[in-house]
């Protein structure tokens, strides 16, 4: 199965003219955005078309489309239809999309954000920093009023926001970014040092990412866990889970539980329920 990218060079102009003409001449109701495709509930930019013999998916971002499916003939047909209505540019196999680099190998497909991470290092001024082996200090417990507040909290918010996007291909920093994102309103010096440590950890192995095996079995396997009242301010437990499709990691999450659990077994059951 191959993935392709399509760039709409003149789509914006055509859509503007079309909408202007429809407004003047007649009002039309559009029942579906893409006829024949179903919009995914988890991601509204994902559209799926399937039947008993084949399936096709499209991921749309502004004027770019990632097109993939189980039938090369169906993929070529869709590109031909798009080209007949709009002047499109076929960029071939998917190699780079929204800061994510895609490498097609014989046995697997790998995803990483190497260039995105290099830009993050450069902007934060930590290009020559010393790497560390863990994203957070295991003995550190971040809380709201730990040290002196930052004079310019915008830099901390920007850094944490970019780290959150980096979790797209780096699930190993998900817990650290979840902890850091709790203090966006009033970050302190300690919070900033903890965020910088994540950058140092990423430098330890910057090319790490996700691997998707081409011959992986179609079997879903999930894991869940909960820590022991990590949040010092609220005393809430943190739920963590991940799902594998065969050998490939496809979904993961770290989130603070909504209520305070008294025994640890209750927190584990809540984590399991959230995972299910």
Return the domain boundaries, the chain: 3-94, 124-204, 216-275
- In tens, the pLDDT along 54-111 reads 888 888 888 888 888 888 888 888 888 888 887 888 888 888 888 889 998 888 889 9
CB 90 within 8 A of CB 4: yes
Phi/psi-derived region of residue 229, left when phi > 0, alpha when psi is between -120 and 50, beta in every other case: left
| Cα–Cα distance, 4 to 79 (Å, whole number) | 10
Which own/partner contact pairs does 26-35 have at CB distance under 8 Å and 24+ positions apart? 34/58
Residue pLDDT, tens place only, 9-65: 444 444 444 444 444 445 556 565 566 788 888 888 888 888 888 888 888 888 888
Provide the 3-class DSSP secondary structure of residue 245.
Answer: strand
Cβ atoms of 101 and 95 within 8 Å: the answer is: yes
């Amino acid at each position: 199965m191959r993935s392709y990218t399509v760039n709409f060079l003149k789509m914006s102009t055509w859509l503007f003219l079309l909408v202007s003409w429809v407004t003047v001449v007649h009002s039309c109701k559009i029942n579906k955005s893409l006829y024949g495709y179903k919009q995914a509930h988890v991601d509204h930019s994902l559209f799926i078309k399937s039947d008993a013999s084949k399936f096709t998916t499209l991921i749309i971002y502004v004027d770019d489309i990632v097109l993939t499916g189980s039938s090369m003939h169906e993929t070529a047909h869709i590109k031909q239809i798009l080209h007949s209505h709009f002047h499109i540019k076929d960029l071939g196999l998917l190699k780079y999309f929204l800061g994510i680099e895609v490498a097609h190998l014989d046995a697997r497909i790998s995803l990483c954000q190497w260039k995105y991470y290099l830009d993050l290092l450069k902007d934060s001024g930590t290009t020559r920093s010393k790497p560390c082996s863990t994203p957070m200090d295991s003995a550190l417990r971040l809380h709201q009023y730990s040290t002196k507040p930052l004079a310019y909290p915008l830099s901390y918010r920007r850094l944490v926001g970019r780290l959150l996007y980096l979790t797209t291909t780096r699930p190993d920093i998900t817990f650290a970014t979840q902890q850091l994102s709790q203090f966006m309103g009033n970050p302190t010096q300690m919070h900033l040092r903890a965020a910088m440590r994540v950058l140092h950890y990423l430098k330890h192995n910057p090319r790490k990412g996700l691997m998707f095996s081409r011959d992986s079995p179609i079997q879903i396997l999930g894991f869940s866990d909960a820590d022991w009242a990590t949040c010092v301010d609220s005393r809430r437990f943190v739920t963590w889970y991940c799902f594998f499709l065969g050998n490939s990691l496809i979904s993961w999450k770290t989130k603070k539980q909504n209520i305070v659990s008294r025994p640890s077994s209750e927190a584990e059951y809540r984590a399991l329920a959230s995972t299910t």
